[in-house]
A and B are shown apart, each in its own frame.
Chain A
Amino acid sequence: MESKFTEAYPKAPDEAREANCEKVSGMLDLMIDGEASTEEQTFFNHHIEECVSCFENHQKQKLLKGLVSGHLKRVIVPQSLVQSIKARIQETL
């Protein structure tokens, strides 16, 4: 990714920008879990366009979630389980 990192950040001096980094890093989970509001998303996306380290942190957080959702193997339900459930329900009546 070609970064705009070296360009001067026009709106905020360093301190304000660091505060934004903190805010953004606190929003990483909201973003990867699809729980951020529209305003939060706008703020977040605008910031990571300008900030390489927050951009990278976002990538890493997505990767972590992807490791669980994409690589964790599901266990196979034993074939007898449905029958056991139905049988036990009928027993208890």
Chain B
Amino acid sequence: MSDQTGKQLSKEEKDARFEAELLPVLDPLYNFAYRLTLDEDDANDLVQETYLKAYRFFDYFEQGTNAKAWLFRILKNSFINEFRKKSKQPAKVDYSEVEGYYNSDDVEGESGVASTTDMRTESVQDLIGDEVASALNALPVDFRTVIILCDLEGFTYEEMAKILDIPIGTVRSRLHRARNSLKEKLEKYAKSMGYNS
């Protein structure tokens, strides 16, 4: 934190720090890119774009601060500016439409899973993972984003606010609506699988 006084790093120092501090975020960053674009090639491009920008602006990155949040923010901005326009997003959902009331015994697959044999448990686990993925992918990208950031990557509300450039109150309400929407989609699945009541 001491050397953010604009002192130029040598190229070797810069490359070493870049590798040590930013490359370890590659896995979560690629996963985030994939969940945003839903396409491996686009995710690949988006991550490369993000690291190029991060390298270019590395002097502005304060050592010891949150590298992961910083990279996620760059990636999110790149996605909005360059990718979102051309990618095929699911049709916009009216928020009031997905406000759905969360009711009774729904996503209760897990208790059923536990009682089955190991092999069956494994395939049911896969099935649950697939179903969660498709429910999530069907959400509007803003909803998908907050759920990924919060539940998969474990960012705090404050970090999410910085990554998304929105107030914490908006993070909270968006997350709330996103979860309601996800519940609704998973509920339909749970019912169709006979998990319900």
> Which residues on A are within 8 Å of B, measured CB to CB?
29-30, 33, 35, 57, 60-61, 63-69, 71-75, 77-78, 81-82, 84-85, 88-89, 92-93
A75-B34, A77-B27, A88-B48 given; A68·B147 CB < 8 A: yes
Query: A73 — which chain B residues lie within 8 A by C-beta?
Result: 129, 133
Contact B129 A81 (CB under 8 A): no
Query: B170 — which chain A residues lie within 8 A by C-beta?
Result: none
Query: B132 — which chain A residues lie within 8 A by C-beta?
Result: 67-68, 71-72
Query: B162 — which chain A residues lie within 8 A by C-beta?
Result: none
Contact with A along B146-177 (1 / 0, CB 8 A): 01101110101100000000000000100110
Contact B48 A84 (CB under 8 A): yes
* Chain A nearest Cβ from B130, distance in angstroms: 8
Q: How far is the CA of A84 from the CA of B136 in the complex (A)?
A: 29
Total interface residues in chain B, CB < 8 Å: 43
Contact B152 A29 (CB under 8 A): no
Query: B102 — which chain A residues lie within 8 A by C-beta?
Result: 57, 60
Contact with A along B41-80 (1 / 0, CB 8 A): 0011001100110011000000000000000000000000
Counting chain A CB atoms within 10 Å of each CB, the highest count among B31, B136, B148 belongs to B31
Q: How far is the CA of A84 from the CA of B48 in the complex (A)?
A: 7
* Chain B nearest Cβ from A87, distance in angstroms: 10
Q: Can you list 28 A-B pairs, Cβ within 8 angstroms, ordered by A? A: A33-B150, A33-B156, A33-B175, A60-B102, A61-B179, A63-B107, A64-B182, A66-B110, A67-B186, A68-B132, A68-B136, A68-B147, A68-B148, A69-B152, A69-B154, A71-B129, A72-B136, A73-B133, A75-B31, A77-B30, A78-B40, A78-B44, A81-B30, A82-B23, A85-B48, A88-B48, A89-B55, A92-B56
Contact A77 B136 (CB under 8 A): no
Contact B151 A81 (CB under 8 A): no
* Chain A nearest Cβ from B157, distance in angstroms: 5
